[in-house]
Amino acid sequence: MKRRLFMAAAGAGAAALLLPGRVRGAGRHDFTPAQVAYRGGQPAPYPSALRSMMKTLIIRTSVDADIERKDLQITSPELYRYPFLYMAGRSAFDPFTDQEIERLGSFLKAGGTLLLDDASGIDSSPFDTSVRREVRRLFPDAALDRLLEDHTVFRSFYLLDRIGGRVLVKDAVFGVNVGDRTPVLYCQNDLGGAWATDLYDRPIQGCEPGGENQREMAYRLGVNIIMFTLCLTYKKDRIHVETIMQRRRLK
Amino acid sequence: MFELLHKLGIDTSGYNGLTPDISMPHLSWVVLYLLAALLMIFFSVRGARLLDLRHRRILLWVLRAGAMLLLFLVLINPGLVLEQREPIRPRAVILWDTSRSMGLKTDPGSASRMQKLKDFWRGAGDLRDALNRGYVVDVFGFDTGVRPLPKSTLESGPENPPDGESTDIMGALKAAAQSESGAPLAAVILLSDGADNAGLGDLADKPEELKAALGKYPAPVFTVGAGGEDLKDIGIADLSVPDYGFIRNAIDVNLTLRVRGFDATDVSVTLFEGDRVLTTKSVPVGKQAETYPVTLSFSPDRVGTFLYTVRIPVFAGESVVENNERQFSLQVLRDKIRALLVVGSPSWDERFLRESLKKDPTIELISFYILREVNDAPFANENELSLIPFPVDELFDTKIRTFDMIIFQNFSPNPYLYPQYLQNIKDFVMDFGGGFMMIGGRRSFASGGYAGTPIADILPIEIKGQGGDFAEGEYKARLTAAGARHPITALRAGEEESKALWDSFPPIEGFNPSEGAKPGATVLLAHPFQSAGGANMPVMAVSQEGRGRVLALATDSAWRWNYFRAESGGGPDDYLRLWRAAVRWLVGDPEGKQVRLRTDRVRYGAKDTVRIRMKVLGKDYAPAPQPKITLKLSGATGVRDLGNLRLEGEEWALDLDNPGPGGWRLEGSAESNTGEPLGNDETVFVVEGRGIEYEKPWPNVKLLEQISKITGGKSWDVKHSPDAKSLPSPKAWRVAGRKRLPLWDNWLAGALILLLLSSEWYLRRRWGLN
């Protein structure tokens, strides 16, 4: 058995070298996020953040992601073409209209995901207040809760026990759980600030207090959030559980 | 007594019997009278205590009590009944065991048990004469029930071969005790091998329990036992299997080996499905015990109803070989559909498919996603990742047949799978009957490097070449005419309704081009403008490949049929229905069949009628009008056509006369009234020809001896003529007429009562009492 596995691995490696490289960044893609363009506040505190995160996703995983940034209004007819929405900000923003709430609510209930990112770097910021207000309107019967450590988002690719970001406002990710899904995720640590890069792919913001290790954790959380969005509870399938438990003990 | 009556002037002519009689009134009258009498006596005693002289007191009491007693006699009206008695013959009942075991030979080459008893009976002329002279003789045959046999049986025994399915001696004795003629039962003659299997058989060594079971039997039972103690046999008895089991779950077949007359030996017990050995077990047996419980376990690997055979070898000198084999049928069900989903890259298509399959409680989904490819760099050590090795050897070699179906979604076998694994998948479909589905994307079909592989052989679409020919751009998949009727894509009841629904679906994006559908494949969805070989290229196509089924979906954006519809208020139901139907069709779910054949049971007795029902559906899954049905029955006696099915509601029905013992296979097929094949189906059933009679066929002469002993009869040896004088003397009569003589219903009784009461009254007055 071992010999066969070894041969398989060797064969796989050899075949991989012969394969043409995957074409990434051009044409149609399996994962195409969009950034929510809302009214009031600052809808894109770090314009390069999402592109940087998608590059990271492509380098590290098998996901075929689109690195082109797409800004989208809730009312856009293209909304459903972008099932993953990223919404970041530093300050308070205008309440969504009832029509926007209804449209965004339907979008999320049908399978869409919204990642909220507070770039202000402070707890209970005006952005945080606006976010919690709108989430209550979207899900009047569900709360924006702290995700427990056994949530799949913390094991969907990396095994995470720390939350990264440009700053460490909260060592937690919040979310609205609906069955096996978490259609709304919220981080207050300014993930976009940690992801953002310049034209030469150099970080434009320092991460405090943890430095580059904290930035790495922000990338890992980004990867895990996208993997969880695409694979749902795959990592809670029985076959994974034992391995994950063992590795958590070794860490 | 008759002289006395004559002297009293009573006419007794014509009567020869006399019995006393009283006509007791209703109990309430008796109680009422007794209370009144006690009261009267009480008052008499109370009044008489004023008298000084004791003898006077006693005299008054006696007079009062005497009057009360005489009044009681009037009340119960005693009398004598004169009877005209005529002598009659008592009944003798002859019980012949007609169960199947009576046809067995005690020793190889000897006469059957029935023949031995008939020889005995023919040689028992004195006994027959004595019965004919002194008794009314009833002859019954018994096995499961009791039935009268023709009078000719009295001379030579039963004519028909014994074929009863069980032996119930107690039931036969009870039936013998019941008489319609009124003649009392004087004797029962029981001719049997004693192999009772209705409860009495186990009581041969328990005389007290046997006595209790027989109760106070009204006549002596004379028994004649066939069969010796030297029988040699190893047989299968008490076979116990569930009516149904689940695929890949162990099923226990419990049975008992009954061994008699053999020294220590090993018995090989083997379970077959057809000619295929499923399991075998060696059981050491000997003279230390008579029964040996055996459990054979096996795990069925296919869904359906199958015939199984348990068999042991025939040993030299065995008296009974018919119990060395038993057949049974078993319906194998699917508890859950085990689907293996292999995904080349996380995507929205994968995400919505997974969600759909996970929502179906009848599907057990085992998923493997390639989250990191060879060139990807996660910048973390192994322990910081949740990734697990892809157990290809286990999934595609050792455990492949634990799945019902395999789904490759945008998954390329390079660099993960050996060519041998691809061959295993082909074998899984062709030989094992598994389902296989390939869903499109850049890693699928020709783009995934499948051309020229064993997988390409089983795909319903033709793929050639290598490399990136994945086409982008939006289009609307068109439902074909076949697709409008097929259980996967016919999402509405009618063809037009299904077509309208598919027309309303949003466009999809991304397409795996092909060289077109293979001959024999069915295209369900077609590309609106991409064509090959003069036909639009398939977007979804299906085919039957060997025993299995394959589906090809040449796009990676079927998720839009779910998610994009939500924008216009559409729910996920049609998308869920599509996948559920696809999964069920791929695993050959019976509900996807247009021809469905069934019998009302899976096991039948030797005399049961087999009720066959066949559902024949058209392409629209509505009952097909006037289909041409072919129905064949095959089994031990060969193959024969069954015809003349009648329509019962929405099903075609046939009540088949019992075809005889053994396992039987029914194969049905149907064509539409325009000659188009609608499908076929098959099922099996077992007729228990031998049943319990051959499970424990050993004679039980001891039981017969005990019955004779308990009831006061005799046990006659089958090898010798019976002693007719053993029969009880026939003493019985019947009453042809009767006359009642009342003893107390006359004037003398009234005068006597009056005399006693008036005497008491006179004396009381005279002695100064009121």
Instruction: Give yes or no for a contact between A250 and B383, defined as CB atoms under 8 angstroms apart.
Output: yes
Q: Which two tokens stand for residue B117?
A: 């008893």
Are residue B450 and residue B405 in the same domain, yes or no? yes
Q: Which two tokens stand for residue B16?
A: 């020869």
Q: Is residue A163 part of a domain?
A: yes
Q: What one-character DSSP code corresponds to residue B21?
A: E
Greatest CA separation for chain B? 147
How far is residue B198's CA from residue A76's CA, in Å, rounded to a whole number?
82
Q: Which two tokens stand for residue B186?
A: 């004087």
Reported as type and span, the H/E element at residue B597 is: strand B595-599
Instruction: Give yes or no for a contact between B460 and B521, defined as CB atoms under 8 angstroms apart.
Output: yes
Q: Sort out which chain A residues have CB atoms less than 8 A from B414's CB and list them.
A: 15-16, 19
Average pLDDT over residues B542-548: 90
How far is residue A75's CA from residue A69's CA, in Å, rounded to a whole number?
18
Is residue B112 predicted with pLDDT exceeding 90?
A: no
Are residue B290 and residue B204 in the same domain, yes or no? no
Question: Which of B457, B458, B343 is CA-nearest to residue B407?
Answer: B343
Sheet holding B595-599, edge to edge: B595-599, B610-616, B651-656, B646-648
Phi, psi of B668 (to 5 degrees): -125, 145
Partner-chain residue, chosen from B370, B376, B563, that has the shortest CB–CB distance to A110 = B563
List strand residue ranges (DSSP E) for A49-138, in order. Answer: 71-72, 84-89, 113-118
Residue-number span of the structural domain to which B665 is assigned: 593-691
Question: B605-623 pLDDT, tens per residue?
Answer: 777 899 999 999 875 566 8
Instruction: Give yes or no for a contact between B538 and B530, defined as CB atoms under 8 angstroms apart.
Output: no
Instruction: Give yes or no for a contact between A85 and A35, defined as CB atoms under 8 angstroms apart.
Output: yes
Q: Which two tokens stand for residue B713?
A: 């009869």
What CATH number is associated with residue B620? Answer: 2.60.40.1930
CB neighbours of B189 closer than 8 A, spacing ≥ 6? Answer: B92, B93, B94, B95, B127, B221, B222, B223, B224
Q: What one-character DSSP code corresponds to residue B434?
A: -
Average pLDDT over residues B57-64: 88
The per-residue DSSP string of A193-218 comes to: HHH-B-TTS-BSS--TTTHHHHHHHH
Average pLDDT over residues B713-740: 82
What's the full length of chain A, in residues?
251
How far is residue B553's CA from residue B368's CA, in Å, rounded to a whole number?
19
The per-residue DSSP string of B649-689 comes to: TTEEEEEEPP--SEEEEEEEEEE-TTS-EEEEEEEEEEEES
Question: B177-194 pLDDT, tens per residue?
Answer: 886 666 788 899 999 999
> Does the CB of A215 have a partner CB in chain B at under 8 Å?
no
Q: Is residue A231 part of a domain?
A: yes
> Among the three residues B271, B303, B333, which one is the final residue of a domain in this structure?
B333
What one-letter code names the amino acid at B599? T
Contact B386 A59 (CB under 8 A): no
Is residue B485 predicted with pLDDT exceeding 90?
A: no
Highest mean pLDDT among B12-16, B61-65, B263-267, B427-431: B427-431
Are residue B426 and residue B542 in the same domain, yes or no? yes
- pTM for the whole thing? 0.63
Distance from CA of A62 to the nearest CA of B (A): 5
Sheet holding B304-311, edge to edge: B244-246, B325-333, B304-311, B265-273, B276-285
* Burial class of A199 by CB neighbour count within 10 A (0 to 12, 13 to 18, 19+): exposed
CA contacts within 13 A on the Cβ side of A148: 3
Are residue B149 and residue B171 in the same domain, yes or no? yes
Partner-chain residue, chosen from A15, A19, A227, that has the shortest CB–CB distance to B346 = A227
Residue of A3, A22, A30 best to disrupt the B interface, most CBs of B under 10 A: A30
Question: B658-698 pLDDT, tens per residue?
Answer: 888 888 999 999 998 888 888 888 899 988 766 677 777 88
> Does the CB of A15 have a partner CB in chain B at under 8 Å?
yes
What CATH number is associated with residue B705? Answer: 3.40.50.410
Are residue B218 and residue B239 in the same domain, yes or no? no
Phi, psi of B591 (to 5 degrees): -65, -15
> Does the CB of A13 have a partner CB in chain B at under 8 Å?
yes
Predicted pLDDT at A195: 97
- Report the 10 Å Cβ neighbour count for B569: 7
The position carrying tokens 């008699």 is B260
Could you tell me the end-to-end alpha-carbon distance of chain A, in angstroms, rounded to an integer?
29
Predicted pLDDT at B402: 87
Q: Sort out which chain B residues have CB atoms less than 8 A from A28's CB and list them.
A: 472, 509-510
> Does the CB of A239 have a partner CB in chain B at under 8 Å?
yes
Check residues B304 and B656 and name the one with the higher pLDDT: B656
Residue of B386, B387, B469, B505 best to disrupt the A interface, most CBs of A under 10 A: B386
Q: What is the mean pLDDT of chain B?
A: 88
C-alpha distances in Å from residue B53, one per residue of A213, B49, B56, B761: 135, 9, 6, 17
- Report the 10 Å Cβ neighbour count for A60: 21
Are residue B428 and residue B503 in the same domain, yes or no? yes
- Total domains in chain B come to 5
**pLDDT band at residue B24 under the 50/70/90 scheme:** confident
Predicted pLDDT at B770: 65
Q: Is residue A5 part of a domain?
A: no
Q: Which two tokens stand for residue B503?
A: 């027309």
Partner-chain residue, chosen from A11, A79, A244, that has the shortest CB–CB distance to B386 = A244
The per-residue DSSP string of B153-192 comes to: HHHH---SPP-BS---HHHHHHHHH--SS-PPEEEEEEEE
> Does the CB of A227 have a partner CB in chain B at under 8 Å?
yes
Chain centre distance of CA A47: 16
What ipTM is given for this predicted complex?
A: 0.88
What CATH number is associated with residue A41? Answer: 3.40.50.12140
Q: Which two tokens stand for residue B548?
A: 């299995």
Question: Which of B685, B683, B665 is CA-nearest to residue B604?
Answer: B685
The per-residue DSSP string of B78-119 comes to: EEEEEEEEEE-PPEEEEEEE-BGGGGSBSSTTS-BHHHHHHH
Which regions of chain A are under pLDDT 70?
1-27, 248-251
- Torsion sign across C-alpha atoms B46, B47, B53, B58: negative
Q: Which of residues 102-131 of A touch B (CB under 8 A)?
A: 106-107, 109-111
What one-letter code names the amino acid at B628? K
Nearest chain B residue to A15 by CA: give it. B415
Average pLDDT over residues B92-99: 93
Q: Which residues pair with A77 in a beta bridge?
A: none
Question: B355-412 pLDDT, tens per residue?
Answer: 999 988 889 999 999 999 988 888 988 889 988 888 899 899 988 988 999 999 999 9
Angle at A16 between CA B551 and CA B512, to 5 degrees: 30
List strand residue ranges (DSSP E) for B121-264, in order. Answer: 136-142, 146-148, 185-192, 221-225, 233-240, 244-246, 251-260
> Does the CB of A179 have a partner CB in chain B at under 8 Å?
no
Q: What one-character DSSP code corresponds to residue A94?
A: P
- Total domains in chain A come to 1
> Among the three residues B333, B366, B399, which one is the final residue of a domain in this structure?
B333
Q: Which residues pair with A36 in a beta bridge?
A: A72
Contact B415 A216 (CB under 8 A): no
Q: Is residue A14 part of a domain?
A: no
Are residue B452 and residue B510 in the same domain, yes or no? yes
Predicted pLDDT at A238: 75
Check residues B653 and B720 and name the one with the higher pLDDT: B653
Q: What one-character DSSP code corresponds to residue B226?
A: -
Greatest CA separation for chain A? 63
Q: Is residue A6 part of a domain?
A: no
Q: Which two tokens stand for residue B168?
A: 């119930």
Instruction: Give yes or no for a contact between B518 and B462, defined as CB atoms under 8 angstroms apart.
Output: yes
Are residue B383 and residue B531 in the same domain, yes or no? yes
- Torsion sign across C-alpha atoms B284, B286, B289, B291: positive
Question: Which of A128, A119, A115 is CA-nearest to residue A194?
Answer: A119
Are residue B323 and residue B423 in the same domain, yes or no? no
Helix (H, G, I), strand (E, B) or coil at B312: coil
Q: Which two tokens stand for residue A67?
A: 């690195």
Q: Is residue A87 part of a domain?
A: yes
